[in-house]
Structure 1
Amino acid sequence: MTEEKIVYVLDTNILLHEPFAFLSFKEHDVVIPMTVLEELDSIKDRQRDVSRDARVAIRALEDILVNASPEQILSGVSLKKENSDQPSGCLSIFNDFALNEDTVPLSFNENDNRIISTAIFLQSKFTDKKIILVTKDINMRLKAKGAGLFFVEDYRTDQLIDDIQFLTKGYHQFEGEFWEHVSECESETDELNTKHHVKRELLPQSYMNEYLIDEGNYFAGKVAGWDDQKLTIIDLNRDRLMSRQAWGVQPKNIYQGMAMDALLDPNIDLVILTGPAGCGKTLLALASALEQVIEQNLYEKIIVTRSTPEIAESIGFLPGTEEEKMAPWLSAITDSLEVLHKQDENMHGSLNYIMDKANLQFKSINFMRGRSIQNSIVLLDECQNLTASQLKTIITRCGEGTKLVCSGNLAQIDSNYLTPVTSGLTYIVERFKDFEGSSTINLNGVVRSRLASFAEENL
């Protein structure tokens, strides 16, 4: 039985999300409506970060179609790679402007409607094929269904999990007491740590730097390695973990204790903090950064950046220097600084002194491309609004001796085209969970106030 031939019609936001997306559909055909090319053309010259993605997509399409005749472009150009035995489909451009408006269910006044009409026309013309419109616009998916299109999908090739509840938390909690689950154990102690070697079957699906805790509040450990037979666990000593301190801040719960352990570990290059509003992500990251820059001299400076909502992606309309323009977006950092120094006699003077002493810099995420950041701690806030490619751009800026702290709340996504399962934050949590130089912690529990806690649980 031969597999049903599928034709994918791509919306503009798919190529902006991933410029080479048209290469991801294996043996199936891909159709790009002319309206999509028009939208890419209008976006490519704008003063926005997304303009680069539009230009990359246009060049990628041109590379495929450069030697094709007009007839071949309309009928389809093979996407098969040289020296590859893998089956491939064809890429074609569809002139949706030639459609008769009387024959399609939607008005041609909007670009979205023309793209939907393309898919509906192909559905009526090629009844032997499955026509699927691929878009990240939720409302467009609803309109397409309402207009009579049978199949509409989100772009999911960069989606690593199906439900946010399966996202790695960074720790495993055993029922009851930890040692009740251990039948055999070999322990060794060096100058710094005690290591336990237990049977691999205790935690078959473990990953590097995964924290281990129990309901009895007696044990805290961290996975340090494994083989087919044994699992190696570093005993962190729960009391010692909860007594860790950075810039006057101590953990209020075990989740903050694990986060602070990762933040203060010089062997961890990437720390990812997830959790609800008010769980302490920003405060812990900033306190740990100040501790390591000013007190321990492990790093030379602190660079703070974050994504800005697309409605205000440009910061040019704000007065002042780059730091002054970014200040409204980074008020979470300044709020946390005030909390750390609220007992000082002259808080304003203390903040200026500390920001100068720590060489604290506010940078726009739009200007991170092309940089090489050395010997610094980079605090990247609000990561849930970034795509996987944007986060890759930032992570690859980090040079020797740099630590990156990514934090975000997947329940507060502002981007029009991202969901919790397609957010770049979710992507890096899953991609880096097996990397020995990274650690992920889900800060489970609101500690900001009882008001914030009640709101998080009930609103």
Structure 2
Amino acid sequence: MPIDRGTGVFKGYLSILMSKREEPNSLLPEHLNDNIIINQLIDLHARNKDLSVVLVTKDINMRLKARACGIAAEDYSTDQLVDDVSLLSRGYHDMTGSFWDRVSKVDTRQERGRTWHRVQLTEMLPAVHINEFIVDEQGFVGWIKGVKNDELLILDMHQEPLLHQEAWGLKPRDIYQGLALFALLDPDIHLVNLSGAAGSGKTILALAAAIEQTMVTKRYRRIIATRSVQGLDQEIGFLPGTEAEKMEPWLGAITDNLEALHMDDENTHGSVDYILSKVPLQFKSLNYIRGRSFQQSLILIDECQNLTPHQMKTIITRAGAGSKVVCLGNLAQIDTPYLSATSSGLTYLTERFKDFPNGVHITLQGVPRSILAEYAESHL
């Protein structure tokens, strides 16, 4: 069947290959569906030498087998917004020297105790998006609050106040954690997307900010914690108990970081038990989240790199009035077989929300949990 692209020009054909052949091809054993498909393509190519046969699949192993059999294979790329994840926004721009050395024209004004700069764009300034930050070596931090025509509207911030923030006793270790904590505590930011290597502080920052805003400032009524249940190893079977009890092993990072927040307490386990009894913390499964609406809640989504774009959309659209969504992930640790760094829901979120006026994305720098973890992250 010819495929019409709507222009009157036919490009390609839609064909249905029957599984039964007069002379079965024994190149691959046909006890697997993947092998049956590859054998069909081998036969098709053998019967039509001039025909270009390309297998398109998300299955990396199937692509390898097809190429070994002489069949061209490629990834399905329509769902990929970027070709290289290194081109994704980090949420900030590091600048050597002083930022003001790159500025040719600026209009500064004071408003309600804040300093605003209207800066003219030049070739010396990077391409930016709203709610990104500018960090230079002279201690200047600017928050980009407007990008219009050839001008930037920048809120003047300083590194010292950012580094002296505190949430549930936790202070940032560097300026990037300071930016993340600032976004987590800002009531006007409805979506915070934190990515970074293992041990960079994503979960502990998000958890400290969540407890601070539910226990102290009472900005949110509850904390909803969820994550993908895609495991690193093979499945171990069904888990007993209620929905919360089934999710508890998957959300061990939450309780681990609770212990870290109270490590200096006289009775760490007692403090953690007290917090769990007082904090309205609920563990939710993604399987039962469709149709729900969470009002005035802080929603923590861990391991976002293992979510598809569709799953990511489903979760974020559960946020009701007065709610905030915090997404955490590391593109270097994807466990889902049919996802890659370029097709992950975390990449999709970062790219799609880069112009959202109420969202902030920060890629945290490595603050390793140990020398061993740092070496493993970079060498394995």
Q: TM-score range by the shorter chain?
A: over 0.9
Aligned to 1:102, the other structure's residue is in SS state coil
Higher relative contact order (CA 8 A, sep 6+): 2
Q: TM-score, normalised by structure 1?
A: 0.77
Identify the range of structure 1 (250-259 vs 446-455) with the bigger mean alpha-carbon deviation. Answer: 446-455
* Distance of 1:167 and 1:302 partners within structure 2: 29
1:117 and 2:39 are equivalent in the alignment: yes
Q: Name the counterpart of 2:16.
A: 93
Question: 1:441: Cα distance to partner?
Answer: 0.5
Identify the range of structure 1 (281-290 vs 121-130) with the bigger mean alpha-carbon deviation. Answer: 121-130
CA contact (8 A) 2:221 2:280 kept: yes
1:276 and 2:197 are equivalent in the alignment: yes
Per the alignment, do residues 427 and 343 of structure 1 end up closer, same or farther by CA in structure 2, a change over 3 Å counting? same
1:108 and 2:30 are equivalent in the alignment: yes
* Distance of 1:91 and 1:312 partners within structure 2: 38
CA contact (8 A) 2:92 2:132 kept: yes
Structure 2 counterpart of 1:283, which letter?
Answer: I
Aligned to 2:155, the other structure's residue is in SS state strand
Q: Name the counterpart of 1:363.
A: 284
| Structure 2: unaligned runs, 5 residues or longer | none
* Distance of 2:285 and 2:294 partners within structure 1: 14
Question: 1:241: Cα distance to partner?
Answer: 1.1
State the identity as a percent: 50
* Distance of 1:304 and 1:439 partners within structure 2: 19
* Distance of 1:207 and 1:429 partners within structure 2: 12
* Distance of 2:280 and 2:292 partners within structure 1: 18
Q: Name the counterpart of 2:217.
A: 296
1:410 and 2:331 are equivalent in the alignment: yes
Aligned to 2:325, the other structure's residue is in SS state strand
How do 1:182-193 and structure 2 match up within 5 A?
182-193=103-114
Q: Name the counterpart of 1:376.
A: 297
Aligned to 2:40, the other structure's residue is in SS state helix
Per the alignment, do residues 316 and 267 of structure 1 end up closer, same or farther by CA in structure 2, a change over 3 Å counting? farther
CA contact (8 A) 1:194 1:235 kept: yes
Structure 2 counterpart of 1:212, which letter?
Answer: I
Aligned to 2:167, the other structure's residue is in SS state coil
Q: Name the counterpart of 2:67.
A: 145
Which has the larger helix fraction?
A: 1
Aligned to 2:53, the other structure's residue is in SS state strand
* Distance of 1:85 and 1:354 partners within structure 2: 66
1:197 and 2:104 are equivalent in the alignment: no
The match for 1:445 among 359, 366, 369 is: 366
Deviations 1:157-180 (A, max 9, x none): 111111221121111111212122
1:177 and 2:109 are equivalent in the alignment: no
Structure 2 counterpart of 1:95, which letter?
Answer: M
Question: 1:90: Cα distance to partner?
Answer: 5.3
1:161 and 2:82 are equivalent in the alignment: yes
Q: Name the counterpart of 1:399.
A: 320
Deviations 1:204-262 (A, max 9, x none): 52101111101x14111111002222111111211111111111111101110111111
Deviations 1:420-446 (A, max 9, x none): 112111111111111111111100122
* Distance of 1:365 and 1:173 partners within structure 2: 37
Q: TM-score, normalised by structure 2?
A: 0.92
Aligned to 1:439, the other structure's residue is in SS state strand
How do 1:10-409 and structure 2 match up within 5 A?
76=1, 91-96=14-19, 98-100=20-22, 102-103=24-25, 105-149=27-71, 151-201=72-122, 202-203=124-125, 205-214=127-136, 216-309=137-230, 317-409=238-330
Aligned to 1:124, the other structure's residue is in SS state helix
Structure 1 counterpart of 2:334, which letter?
Answer: I
CA contact (8 A) 1:101 1:107 kept: no
* Distance of 1:188 and 1:87 partners within structure 2: 60
* Distance of 2:3 and 2:150 partners within structure 1: 49
Structure 2 counterpart of 1:185, which letter?
Answer: V
CA contact (8 A) 1:270 1:405 kept: yes
CA contact (8 A) 1:446 1:452 kept: no
* Distance of 1:444 and 1:318 partners within structure 2: 35
* Distance of 2:63 and 2:319 partners within structure 1: 38
Question: 1:399: Cα distance to partner?
Answer: 1.5
CA contact (8 A) 1:79 1:91 kept: no
Matched positions, count: 379
CA contact (8 A) 2:4 2:10 kept: no
